[in-house]
Chains A and B, each alone.
Chain A
């Protein structure tokens, strides 16, 4: 007899997801599927709009990382204009993109995931949240708030708005920054560097406590993909794509993002609205890859900033080849926060950072534009085709979270096989499955939150598809 357990609104993922766990005749877990139940439809409804509206329109894809969409979209529009972007504008776009990454990673690590890490996967779900950490871990909460605030302030100081700013535009950015803005951000760097260093020290010492999760949370061979510089350094704005294998060897290097259609396929599965991208040369079955902070650190030789380089070297020692456990997305996020802070400092100290030359102007010169950048959750692709008047004829977006769809499904299956006891679902099991998804930090919402709350439902089916048990969080 099916059973439904209602849990209060404590879910901590971006968007609505449903998980089906399918059992075989022996009652063991046979398969698991993550269903993303929201339709986005951005590619369709932007058709007929002028290309220069695309950054603002597509930024509405996400309330967490609108800056990432602004960056990728503006880069696609830059190609339509066929202009050379002023170097200061590129530096400013890099800074705001890193501010976005810092605030998003802080949100995931401190607000959404640390309750699991510090209060336990089996803790009281009513208290397993940020508010529940106030008494026992106030310093961690303060640190999370400060880091997120720093990232948001970087965005706000550059673009005058924390959410959905319109400062990044085709051809560059709308306005330069002044010395006051630069100096304000620079003055806060030592404080936030201290916070992230303290957090990394604590987290690395705690890794032994999480060995079970490291072993069972989406820990399997896959490809990893991310942007790198020509030298193979960590890159979030320009660069080319590198694909590495589970053994850590480079499978493909310096792939031109403009040619993504030649090496990325997009499959559609009937159980989810999220597309399933894969690395074409290996086919759908073997072409599963991961993106995002874990993948970026796996593909990069070095970061290019002093402290992050030390941390990356240590991180690379976690496994013999690539670091395979998706639990280590958390660790990778912390290193990327460190990198982001250091890199912002480097960029703000560049001699031309206050230059007034921050935007190139042109009319439509190309009928096609592809913009690729690294969003907090992974590689983000915007691809537009326009007519001679610059009106969008077609658009294709590969959202960062979508790249991880196949791996996330496989990770949920792995966790379900390890934790699910078919005779009875428990809240602790639900939370572990959810925590696997949370480690990927998917932004499933991407367009709208129906009522502002994220719901999750897990269904257990027998081999005939009959519903055995359901756990729902609403």
Chain B
């Protein structure tokens, strides 16, 4: 039987097209449009070709140098966040109770930081870490350690990384816990019978079974930390100097502070492509083994 064919069905796609156009297509094209033009205000634009991109990707120029400095800072920040949050998240998930009232209590407690808005997290830590009145800052200074995130780059870094760990480790914990709970009891019993110790159980059962959720956890944490803006902006404002000026902060400085729309647009596009590429490469490599296995 031939299926009836009616091209009017394409009309049903229109609402989605309109929605995507307004929410994604038109904004992106505006940015692309800015990235190849220059403006001196008055809403007058001049064709500039690929000059912004060339300048941006050349570290010897003013813009390029600034871009690469921020890029390395952002990569370092993401790397540190992943290095701390993933192992810590796994460790905490392994320690959580498997049954009883403790399950609900720990899950709710863990979820609390995730519910707090970014700027509030920033404000909390801005006060918490202050050397004069903040509980943490004052306590550390009281121990005789000189700690001032507004003056010392290292202290600023420790503060923003600690803040991110505080805010987001819970996400990794919850994902890992879900992965761990999905392991049938028989696996643990078999491992016991096979004489496996805690480390062998972790290597042979828990880690492999968590692989999928860990892939998601790493992806989410990479993207989020690579795009971080609000929290360090509230705490350090990108300082001291440029010590915690990440790509997103620098981007806003160029776009809104200096009103260099062309430079900022070119930077946004490159920024976006970096995230896409890293995520795609990571996802492709981690899932390749899995798809082979399920064949």
Q: Do A and B come from one complex?
A: no
Q: Give chain A's interface residues, CB within 8 Å of chain B.
A: none
